[in-house]
Amino acid sequence: MSTPPLHQMPAWQAAALLARRELKATDLVRACLDRIGEREAQLQAFVHLAADAAVKRAVELDAGPVRGVLHGLPFGMKDLFDTFDMPTAYGSPMYAGHQPLADASAVALCREAGGVLLGKTVTTELANMFPGVTRNPHNPAHTPGGSSSGSAAAVADFMLPLALGTQTAGSLIRPAAFCGVVGYKPSHNRVPRGGVKSLSETLDTVGGFGRNVRDVALLGAVLTGDARLADPANFNLAAAPRIGMCQTPEWAQAWQDTRQAWALAEAALAGLTAPVTLPQELSGLVALQKQVQAHETARSLSHERLHHRERLSPPLQALIADGLAVSGEAHAHNLLLLADARHQAAALFDKCDVLMAPSTLGEAPAGLDSTGDPLFCRSWTLLGLPCVHLPFARGSTGLSVGLQLVGAYGDDHRLLAAAHWIHQRLTH
């Protein structure tokens, strides 16, 4: 069997070779840069590429001691994270050329662990719904999703083994689904958000992309500081996970692509699943998430709306208007409703280890004027639960389709272990 090119090597395998000095960081970095050189003109995943600095850092790592679990691994960073050595524009022309003085916490953690930052990836305008320039790597006429569009597309197209993104509604899971990679949204507040452009304190979550579950587990271990996430022993399950199949109250809006993926999953996991229906008290989560996001985004972007309103896209202006219409009193009540919903959600895992739920309506829509609907992600983001998207099927036009797994709050290591076990059975 022929050995795949270096740029196609899974992150966890490359990390092991780098740690044993059986692979040079310079060789892996240059292989990724060569791939970027071949494909970036079509894909447009990057807003800033730091090729020379990345090679210099790789040379230093090859000459020195092993720095951490990401030693020598190239990674990309959504252009919503501050970086002291690269501009950060937050996907908006009003911040063109903006140069922060310090790295975001997540960036610094990845560098401290030995990661090599190749560049900043495209995000939508201020991580909202107005699209960036990135195209779907499998069909450039289709959206890659958003708002972490460049990160998901770059990993899917073998430009990078790992990339970071954020999710406030569906900005990790949806692009992972549309681009056909594994996306991981940790439990809320498990990863520091310092230095990341804020939209919603209640919802914003830092996560990332890889090409398999063990890849995102490696990244998750660095971001959360929880070594269990990437411990090989964590993936040796003593028993098959109990899987609750949760179509959610929005199931009627799922396209045939998602319905077929659901049927495939039920067949592949026969005997391990049981249906789970959300209680009536949790039926209004999507509407609640929209209100919380709109209110907090309108306030988080106060400077932009006060001083640069004319430079905001019409969709973002409309979201801000919706948020300003939600009073502080109403928001306080919404937060009480949310606290109660999060308490009730814990009971969903009394009889199952993980929930399986839709990730998206279906495969990536045609056209580049929209990033798709985050409908099936809103509730889980609101609840703050950890989620992993698993790609394993194809839609009506041949693009990737999959489903997401949802875990109990704080049980990220158990969710990732179950996701690895389930993904192997869905793809073999």
Residue 83 reports pLDDT greater than 90:
yes
Residue 294 reports pLDDT greater than 80:
yes
**Predicted structure pTM score:** 0.98
CATH of the domain at 33: 3.90.1300.10
Gyration radius of the chain's alpha carbons: 20
Residue 4 has a pLDDT of: 79
Residue 217 has a pLDDT of: 98
Per-position b or e across 338-349, b if 16+ CB within 10 A of its CB: beebbeebeebb
The answer to whether residue 250 sits within a structural domain is no
Is the Cβ–Cβ distance between 112 and 57 less than 8 Å? no
The answer to whether residue 425 sits within a structural domain is no
Q: Which residues contact residue 92 at a Cβ distance below 8 angstroms, ignoring those fewer than 6 apart? A: 125, 126, 304, 311
Burial class (CB in 10 A: 0-12, 13-18, 19+), 27: middle
Residue 1 reports pLDDT greater than 70:
no
pLDDT mean over 237-258: 97
The pLDDT tens digits of the residues spanning 134-156 come to 999 999 999 999 999 999 999 99
* Count of structural domains, the chain: 1
The answer to whether residue 421 sits within a structural domain is no
Q: How far apart are CA 208 and CA 217, in angstroms?
A: 9
Q: Which amino acid type is present at position 181?
A: V
Residue 191 has a pLDDT of: 98
Only one residue has tokens 């839609």, namely 395
| Token pair for 426 | 């869905």
Share of the chain above pLDDT 70, in %: 100
pLDDT mean over 399-425: 98
Residue 100 reports pLDDT greater than 60:
yes
The answer to whether residue 414 sits within a structural domain is no
Q: Is 78 one of the catalytic residues?
A: yes
Q: Is 400 one of the catalytic residues?
A: no
The answer to whether residue 318 sits within a structural domain is no
The answer to whether residue 85 sits within a structural domain is yes
Average of per-residue pLDDT values in the chain: 97
pLDDT confidence of 299, banded at 50, 70, 90?
Answer: very high
Sign of CA dihedral 72, 76, 77, 83: positive
Q: How many CA atoms lie within 13 A of 228 on its CB side?
A: 9
Residue 127 reports pLDDT greater than 50:
yes
Q: Which amino acid type is present at position 240?
A: A
Q: Indicate which residue of 105, 147, 187, 379 is catalytic.
A: 147
Q: How far apart are CA 87 and CA 386, in angstroms?
A: 30
Is the Cβ–Cβ distance between 234 and 417 less than 8 Å? yes
Q: Is 200 one of the catalytic residues?
A: no
Q: Is 183 helix (H, G, I), strand (E, B) or coil?
A: strand
pLDDT mean over 322-338: 98
pLDDT mean over 7-35: 98
- Among residues 221, 220, 186, 219, the alpha carbon closest in space to that of 204 is found at 186
Residue 378 has a pLDDT of: 98
The answer to whether residue 317 sits within a structural domain is no
The answer to whether residue 203 sits within a structural domain is yes
Sign of CA dihedral 91, 218, 57, 17: negative
* Residue 330 Cα distances to 233, 282, 293, 295, 327, angstroms: 47, 18, 13, 10, 5
Q: How far apart are CA 387 and CA 128, in angstroms?
A: 20
Range of the domain at 179: 6-226
First vs last C-alpha separation in the chain:
18
pLDDT confidence of 2, banded at 50, 70, 90?
Answer: low
The pLDDT tens digits of the residues spanning 181-235 come to 999 999 999 999 999 999 999 999 999 999 999 999 999 999 999 999 999 999 9
Q: Indicate which residue of 105, 148, 171, 200 is catalytic.
A: 171
β strands within 266-311, DSSP E: 273-275
E strand or H helix at 221: helix 213-224
Percentages (nearest 5) of helix, strand, coil residues in the chain: 45, 15, 40
| Token pair for 40 | 């970036």
